[in-house]
Structure 1
Amino acid sequence: DSLTLPLMALGGKGVVSVVGNIVPGDVKSMLNAFNAGDLALAREWHFKLFALCRNLLGLATNPIPIKAAMQLMGRDNGEVRLPMTQLDSSSMQVLEKTLRDYGLL
């Protein structure tokens, strides 16, 4: 996700987004700005999303952090399946702070 805008700038046509599961409107806004040629606005969205991407995707293997984030946001999406496990308590604290800082909690 943190490479979405750079990939688009190099000619990419799209991505499979992870953070788009919790902030679809923000990802769409970044892509719409890019497609409209408003690179300054696209870049602003990229930097806003970057901390969320870094903190969310750096905690554990996908989909563990995104499922935990969705649960914290009140979106029931079931448990992760083995061999994956739930986030540990310190990672959950980082995740909660990240979501709070972004304005999602």
Structure 2
Amino acid sequence: MKKAFTQTLMELRGGAVVEEATNELNTLVAMVRDTGKAGKITITVEVKPFAKVQDALEVTGKVVATLPKEKESAEVFFPTVENNLSRHSERQTKLPGTSLADSSSAAHG
């Protein structure tokens, strides 16, 4: 009878590979929900001959998570005729008696 892959996976690094994959999956699910973008987890099991003992194999497990990037916030600026960036459009006429509160005066008021 073949031993289940999951049983071997549970034995790698004393169960640390499965614990790491579980933690990464939890993080991945949260990031996908937050960003609406996809991600993935890759579990690699490498098997190679163990040089010091005949008929023995060296087995390693590695977990790699590719998390979606969080959306960077963007702000709106308007280009001036001098090619600078301004918060205010030069084409927008100002209404008499109105002004935008800046953060320094709003903090003191």
TM bin (shorter chain): under 0.3
Q: 1 or 2, which has the higher helix percentage?
A: 1
Q: TM-score when scaled to structure 1?
A: 0.27
Question: Radius of gyration: which is bigger?
Answer: 2
Report which structure shows greater RCO (CA 8 Å, sep ≥6). Answer: 1
> Which has the larger strand fraction?
2
